[in-house]
Amino acid sequence: MLEKALSGSKKYWTWIFILLVFIGIGTVNYLRQFQTGLTITGLSRDVSWGLYIGQFTFLVGVAASGVMLVLPYYLHNFKQFAKITILGEFLAVSAVTMCMLFIFVDMGQPMRIMNVLLYPTPNSVMFWDAFVLSGYLALNIIVGWVVLGSEKNGIAPPKWVKPLIYLSIAWAPSIHTVTAFLYSGLPGRHFWLSAIMAARFLASAFAAGPALLIILALIIRKFTKFDPGKEAVQTLGKIVTYFMITNVFFFGLEFFTAFYSNIPGHMHPFQYLFAGIGEYNKLVPLMWTSVILAIASIALLIFPAVRRNESTLAIACAMVFISLWIDKGFGLIIGGFVPNMFETVTEYWPTMPEALITIGVWAVGLLVLTILYKIAITVREETAGVEIEH
């Protein structure tokens, strides 16, 4: 089926070319980082994780959200998702690929990455994260590819793939739970040491991922002959709404616990992120942008009329996505490091090479997504009208 990615319109190739340019720029900058070290990033002794690990965390959520399409279809026989489960699976493949690349570019000694497998360490959450992420990647590649291949040949998918689909449904929340455990199990990082971390991760994931899927579905409908379906988009809109409200609620719980208990260590990261501590306030505008977008998006999404209009739905989804990207892809990580272990403040801001490497990795993810979607959509266009039960 791969050959289907090799023929496309002028627009398709232009898009591929643009992505390759960004991948090239990212690669050049990464080679520089490989040579001179992570000193070229904004990371420091006090803030030792930043944009890369933030993107990793955010994208694990996007990957996990594929289950929001797979679950209703396979467990509840929700037919409207029949055509688009593949979009969720392939989005997961692309997102996990990016996750792995972000871990890779964050490493001080990337050539030693196999040490994680050579010296398996079950007491390290990172070991489990590597395990669940690669498992989830494999599951989604296999399931997506086999189901699509069968569809292309006009036959029902083989029986053995069903157990793998059920496994992937259970597996999806695990990847984001384990990722939350990376943070919530550390002593002394007040911002992360919270039992609701995993739940909040899942809530934000199931809002951000489907929001992205809605936008992708609308783009696909505009540029191809494949229609992901009006009903499917509407249902996704409801999912985004509920989980965005849940996410904001969970955040409110964190906020309440920190401020009503009045424990200084618990309040400091919130103060830094939303008000600044002394002259240190680099993240304040960004965090408030996130808050305003979150509230505004909910205010839009709760009205059925707004959701029914696909243009306003798309705008609200973009707001959800950006809000959660700031919250999880940036604020969450930095809030864990500021103030530092000495209750002093070292600020962090990504550097230009760091940002370009980050964009490069996103471009790789978008390239993987484009190729996989191109294949899926071409198959769909060819088999249009033929319904196969799977």
Partner 1 sequence: MSMNRREFLKIAGVSTIAGLGGTAVFSHLGKNSLEAVQTSPNTDALTGKQWGMVIDMDKLKSEETIKKVTEACHRIHNVPDFGNPKDEVKWIWTETFEHSFPGQEHKYMSEDMMHKPFLLLCNHCTDPACVRVCPTKATFKRKDGIVMQDMHRCIGCRFCMAACPFGARSFNYRDPRGKDANGNPFIKEENKEYPTRMIGVVEKCTFCVERIEKGLKPACVEESNGALVFGDIDDPASEIRRILNSQYTIRRKPELGTGPNIYYIIGGNDYAVVPEIR
**Contacts with partner 1, residue ranges (CB under 8 A):** 36-39, 43-46, 48-49, 103, 106-110, 112-113, 115-116, 118-119, 121, 123-127, 130, 182-183, 185-189, 264-265, 336-337, 340-344, 346
249 versus 349: smaller Cβ distance to partner 1: 349
Q: Longest Cα pair distance anywhere in the chain, in angstroms?
A: 66
Which two structure tokens, joined as six digits, stand for 295? Answer: 């509230």
- The answer to whether 116 and 126 are in contact (CB under 8 A) is yes
Smallest distance, partner 1 to C-beta of residue 217, A? 36
User: Residue 217 CB: number of other CB atoms within 10 A?
Assistant: 24
33 versus 241: smaller Cβ distance to partner 1: 33
69 versus 333: smaller Cβ distance to partner 1: 333
**Interhelix angle 310-326/284-301, nearest 10 degrees:** 150
Euclidean distance between CA atoms 152 and 383, whole angstroms: 7
Rounded to a whole number, what is the distance in angstroms from the first to the last CA of the chain?
19
14 versus 121: smaller Cβ distance to partner 1: 121
SS3 state at 113 = coil
SS3 state at 277 = strand
Smallest distance, partner 1 to C-beta of residue 134, A? 14
Cα angle 119-121-124, degrees, rounded to a multiple of 5: 140
Smallest distance, partner 1 to C-beta of residue 33, A? 10
Smallest distance, partner 1 to C-beta of residue 130, A? 7
Smallest distance, partner 1 to C-beta of residue 200, A? 18
178 versus 240: smaller Cβ distance to partner 1: 178
Smallest distance, partner 1 to C-beta of residue 315, A? 37
- The length of the chain, given as a count of residues: 390
Which two structure tokens, joined as six digits, stand for 139? Answer: 């599951």
Euclidean distance between CA atoms 307 and 111, whole angstroms: 48
312 versus 346: smaller Cβ distance to partner 1: 346
Where helices occur in the chain by DSSP H, the ranges are: 10-36, 51-64, 67-76, 85-106, 115-118, 125-152, 161-184, 197-223, 230-261, 264-274, 284-301, 304-308, 310-326, 332-337, 352-382
- The answer to whether 207 and 352 are in contact (CB under 8 A) is no
Smallest distance, partner 1 to C-beta of residue 277, A? 13
Residue located via tokens 């089926």: 1
24 versus 185: smaller Cβ distance to partner 1: 185
177 versus 241: smaller Cβ distance to partner 1: 177
309 versus 344: smaller Cβ distance to partner 1: 344
Burial of 111 (0-12, 13-18, 19+ CB in 10 A): exposed
Smallest distance, partner 1 to C-beta of residue 186, A? 5
Cα angle 106-111-112, degrees, rounded to a multiple of 5: 90
Which two structure tokens, joined as six digits, stand for 62? Answer: 């996007």
Smallest distance, partner 1 to C-beta of residue 353, A? 13
Smallest distance, partner 1 to C-beta of residue 331, A? 16
34 versus 303: smaller Cβ distance to partner 1: 34
